[in-house]
Structure 1
């Protein structure tokens, strides 16, 4: 888990240096973090990775300056079921669901199936896909509690009102 968090932090730091943003396209990733509105609208994008039996969809967004980034991940490896419009939570056994937030280069937060496995967590990670066309875009919402370095006994960040509309690359 720590390797994943560090990888996401590194990617966030590298991509946040880009000067492009969502412009007038409407593409965006936004959320409230502990009640404060945040926009991750620099280079918002979605990727779909597929091998013979599994698919992973990732939504990424980066804040302007400061190195903040967010990544939402849905992986169908546990079941092989297709990823379609619907609700995905970290309590399901059919999909791996994860949410990563890099606050800065030294503080990375994680939540999702691996972090929450068998634990009582107040706000489980939930990703709702309202529309998906893997040749063009994905749209939906998200929420949940994330923990510093994926440790549920450490500091927590609560994500609410998460909203995304991003283009597949």
Structure 2
């Protein structure tokens, strides 16, 4: 009888711990967690990472700003590539397209594909992350459950690209 009670309590405790485990975080990435500007990963063909591609500052102003805040920055248009973020499963890098100060496209241009499991997970996760990034227009997006490591790298690279497109 004692064994049954112990087994039942152990099962219940295990289930409580399992359901209490956080599988997703919705933290924003701050600048101090990103590589310094101008850094990237050097490959045989050159440096990839935080170099912006496309034109910067080619749009028009978004409108008058409040007097105390100063002038509004010009709306940007162009393509911006975030830093390559090394994750446990491989590199992740995001490229965004900005038109008139709005993120219109986000694409993971590097992500782990080293094995069938990576390919299966990222075939599901990357499109979700891309659409969330466009919908949010920021790096404050939900991580994809089951692809937490890739999601974390995606958010960091996305934040770097956004910082390039919309400097403070």
TM-score scaled to structure 2, two decimals? 0.28
The structure with more helix, counted as a fraction of residues: 2
The structure with more strand, counted as a fraction of residues: 1
Structure number with larger C-alpha Rg: 2
